[in-house]
Structure 1
Amino acid sequence: MFLQILVGFYIGLSIYIIFLFKKIFFQVSEGHLAVLTSFGKVVFKNETEKSLKTFQSGLHMKWPWQKVHFISIMEQMIDLSGDDGCTMAMASDGTLLRIDSKLRFTPLKNELYSFLFSMERSFEHIKGLFICLLHQEIGSFDKKNPINNTTKLNTEVSSFASIRSKRGLLNIQIQDFCKNKIPNSYGIEFNGVDITDILPPNELANALNAVINSQSEAQRLYALTEAECEQRLLAAKKGIAIAKAKAKAIEEDIQKISEVLSELQRNNTLNLYIERRSMEVYSDAKISYIKRTL
C-alpha cells in the first residue's frame, strides 16, 4: 500500500515538474523577440524610457505566472485592400480608382512598447492610417505633379492615366512623406507602399474597352476599304492600259487603211476598188427578203 502511494507521488511529481518546466522555460524563434508581462504589467528594462526587456532567439526562463508575447522583427507586409480585394480612392478630377497596394514595415526594437501596448489592434490601426495616407496622396497627386503646357495642348490627360503612368513617382512621394512626417510613436519603421495595380471604376473600364473596340473596328474597316480601293484602282489602271492598247491597234489599222486608200487614189483605182468591194459584199448575201405590202 505504501509502495503504491509512493509510486503515485512520484508520478504526480513528474507531471508537476513537466508542467512547471513548460511554465518556466520558453523558446524564441529566429527573427523574433519576446517580452514578458507579470500579472498584466509589462516587464521593463527601463520603465522611465518605456524600454522593454526583450529576449533574443533561443531558450529562456521566466516565472510561472509571467506571460510571453512574441513579436516578429522581420519585414512584415499588410494588404491595404478592402473586403472587395481593392481599396477605393478618389483622384483630383473626381475619378474613383480601385487600387491594389501592400504596406511594408518593420517593428522597431526600441519602440516595441508603442507597437504592442499603445494600440489595441496595432495591425488594423496601421492599415487604416496608411489607407488614409494613400487616399490623400492620390487626391493631391496632380497638384504636386502638374502637366506641362505642351502636354495640355496635345491631349487632355486624365488623373487615371497620369497616376498610372507615374506610379513609381507616387510610390516615392508616399515613402518620403511617411519617413519625414510619421513619427516613431507607432513603433514601426516604414519601408514602403507597393502599389501593385491601379484600376479604373467599372463604368470607366467599360467606356475604355468600348473606345478600344471602336478603334479596332474602325482600323479594320479602314484597312478593308483601303484594300478594296487599291484593288479597284489597280483594276482601273489595267483597264486603261488595255483600252489604250486597243485604241493604239485601231489607230494603226486606220492609219494603214488610210495609206492604202491614198495610194489607190493616187493611182486612180479607188473607184474600181470600191465597186469591187461592193460586189463582194453583195455576193456574200445568199438570200434577200423583200417585204411587200399586201
Structure 2
Amino acid sequence: MMMFAFIIGLLLYVIFKVFVRAFYVVKPNERAVITSFGRAQRISEDAVQDPNLNADEQQRYRYPLLRTIGPGGPYFKWPWQEVHKVDIATQSIDLTWDPTKHQKTIEAVTKDNLTTGVDGQIRYRVSASHLYAYCFGVDSPLEHVMGYFISVLRERVANFVDPKGQSLVDGTELAEQGGSAAAELSEGVSINDLRKNLPLLNDYMEQQCRSTGARYGIELDAALITQIDPPPAVDRALSAINSTRNQVAADISTARADAEQQITMSKRAVDIASNNAQAEVAPLLELAGTLAEIKASGGPQALAAYVRNMRIPLLGRARRIVQSAVTGTRPAAVADH
C-alpha cells in the first residue's frame, strides 16, 4: 500500500514538474532566455561589439549573444531547463533610489566647492541585445547603472562651466548683446550655471551613459535632472548675489535706454531745425531767382519797374509815409504800416 502511494505521488510530481510547469508564456513586453543546467542558450560565442566601448572595455565586457524567445506561447521546456523572463518596457526611477540606504537627494560638490543637492529621474529599459550582461553579468544591474550614472553626474557637476558665462561676466559682450546680456549677469556662479543649463547637463549624461547597455544590459533612455538645490544658507547668499546683479543689470539697461532716447531726440531736433531753416530760405532763394531772370531779360529798367509795382500794394496799406532827403542821394520814402 505504501509502495502504491509512493508511486502515485511520484507520478503526480512528474506530471506537475514535467507537464504542468513545462509550459510558459512570454508577455508582449517581455523577452525570455532559456538555461540548460545553468548554461544559457547561445546564438554565437563572439562578443557583442558596441561602438560606445573603447578597446579596453570591449575586452573586459565580452558577453556572448544569447538566443531569446519573443512574445507568445505556450512554450515547452524540460525539467532541467529554467526560464529567465526580462521586462524590456521603458521604466523610470528616481536618482535617489538605492537598495542599501535611504536618501532624499544626491549630494554633489560644484567647482566653487559648494555642496548642492540634485534630484530627478532617469528613464531606462533592458537592452534586448545584451541580455547576458543583464541576467548573468552582474548581480544587480540596475544598482550598478545607478552608481555609474551618479559618479558621472558628480564628476560633471564638479567641472561644469557655462559655455558663455565667462565672456558675459567679464563684460566683453555687453555692448554687442545689449539688454539680453545684462539679464544674464547672474552667470559665473556654478550653481546658477547648472540651473540655467539643465538641458545641456542632461544631454551630456545621456551621451556618457550610452555604454551602460554593453556594460550592464540596461540602456539609458533619457536623463531628467530637474532640481539643483543648495543648502539654505548658500541659497540665501546666492539669492542676495542674484538680486544685486539683477539690479546692476536693470540699471545698465535703464541707462542704455535713456542714452538711446536722448540720442534719438537730439537727431530729431536737428532734423526739425534743418527743415525750418530750409523753409525760411526757400522763398528768398525763389525771389532772388525771379529777380535775376527779370534783370537778365528786361534790364535794370524792368527790375526797377517790378520793384515799383511791388511797392504799390504796400503803400496802399500804409497809414503814413515818411520821406527823408539825404545830401547827395535821392529822397527816400518810408512807409509806416
Q: TM-score, normalised by structure 2?
A: 0.54
CA distance in structure 2 between the partners assigned to 1:123 and 1:183 by the alignment: 11
Map 1:263-282 → 2, pairs under 5 A: none
* Equivalent pair of 1:36/1:66 in contact (CA under 8 Å): yes
Q: How many correspondences in the alignment?
A: 209
Specify the alignment match of 1:79 in structure 2: 94
Residue 186, structure 1, aligned to residue 200, structure 2? no
Specify the alignment match of 1:246 in structure 2: none
Alignment partner for residue 40 of structure 2, among 36, 39, 42?
A: 42
Distance apart, 1:26 and its partner CA: 1.6
Distance apart, 1:176 and its partner CA: 2.8
CA distance in structure 2 between the partners assigned to 1:11 and 1:185 by the alignment: 47
Alignment partner for residue 24 of structure 1, among 22, 41, 47?
A: 22
What do residues 9-56 of structure 1 show as CA deviations (whole Å, max 9, x unaligned)? 768745642343233112222211111222222222333451212111
Rg larger in 1 or in 2? 1
Distance apart, 1:206 and its partner CA: 4.9
5+ residue gaps, structure 1, are 216-294
More displaced stretch, 37-46 vs 94-103: 37-46
Identity %: 29
5+ residue gaps, structure 2, are 48-63, 172-181, 245-337
Specify the alignment match of 2:197 in structure 1: 166
Q: 1:15 to 1:33 in 2, by over 3 A?
A: same
Q: Which amino acid aligns with 1:187?
A: G
Q: Which amino acid aligns with 2:154?
A: H
Specify the alignment match of 2:133 in structure 1: 114
Specify the alignment match of 1:201 in structure 2: 231
Superposition CA RMSD, Å? 3.1
What do residues 175-196 of structure 1 show as CA deviations (whole Å, max 9, x unaligned)? 23334x6673433332221112
Map 1:48-87 → 2, pairs under 5 A: 48-49=46-47, 50-58=64-72, 59-81=74-96, 83-87=102-106
- Classify the secondary structure of the residue corresponding to 1:47: strand
* Equivalent pair of 2:91/2:124 in contact (CA under 8 Å): yes
More displaced stretch, 38-47 vs 56-65: 38-47
Q: Which amino acid aligns with 2:230?
A: P
Q: 1:92 to 1:7 in 2, by over 3 A?
A: closer
CA distance in structure 1 between the partners assigned to 2:146 and 2:105 by the alignment: 13
CA distance in structure 1 between the partners assigned to 2:138 and 2:65 by the alignment: 16
* Equivalent pair of 1:108/1:187 in contact (CA under 8 Å): yes
